[in-house]
Amino acid sequence: MKLVWCPEMASKAYIDGVRALADHDMAAAGADVAELVSAMAGGWNARLVVEAPDSTAPAAAAATTTGLALAAATRRTGGRYALVLPDRDAAAAYGAEAGAASVTAQVVVGEADEAMAGLHGVDLLVVDARRRDAAAVLRAARPGARGMVVVRHGGGRQRAAKDLAASMADGTRVVRSVYLPVGKGVEVLHVGVGKGPSMQNRRGSGSTSRWIRHVDHDTGEEHVFRRQ
């Protein structure tokens, strides 16, 4: 069983996200990333969407923009939108913006391991790379049996396969990654669970690569194939 993309749901969730931003006059602050992740939440029919934003000012406004779009998308899928914040100060900073925008979310406050422990079966994880514990949030994420899609934005660069593999929790693997020139850069990771091929051969950097990387020049999508 795995996540299956539905173009029709992606379109509907995208429209819902755009409308939510327009209703609250938030078309400027991070709207490009917000609209993208709303389409992803719908397209993957995400039942549990978790966002780990950089809630420090002035990033809270952009994070609220993403939250509006994700909340609208999860209403479309009938799923749940959870917001993970590192401490009460961050929750207060974000809450002031979110309250004004009427963002509805399950707010979880605490260190990454503690906060993510109660969020089982994550389908879509949206992480701001500028958040101080972004790597810890990724390692602590608990995908469901279908796997998980991770959207890492704000980092401004694409990481190497070995760095991606090192950032994941035991029992998970990065099976594909795509870098999109949206906003300050968006990295999309498809994460699988259990045994199976991964982008990174963890037996050692000196071993011969077993993977072939191909980039579709029309779409910008990156595919990784295993050597036979």
When pLDDT is averaged across residues 98-111 and rounded to a whole number, the result is 75
pLDDT at 202 over 50: no
Partners of 173 in beta bridges: 192
Cα–Cα distance measured from residue 102 to residue 110, given in angstroms and rounded to the nearest whole number: 23
Query: pLDDT tens digits for 19-77?
Result: 988 887 765 667 899 999 999 999 999 999 999 988 665 555 666 788 889 999 999 99
Pick left, alpha or beta for residue 171 (phi over 0 → left; psi -120 to 50 → alpha; otherwise beta).
Answer: left
Instruction: Give the closest residue to 190 by CA, choosing from 1, 3, 14, 38.
Output: 3
* 3-state SS, residue 34: helix
- The residues, ordered by sequence, that sit 6+ positions from 85 with a Cβ below 8 Å of its Cβ are 53, 55, 91, 94, 107, 108, 109, 115
Whole-model pTM: value is 0.80
**All domains of the chain in start order, with CATH:** 7-226 (3.40.50.150)
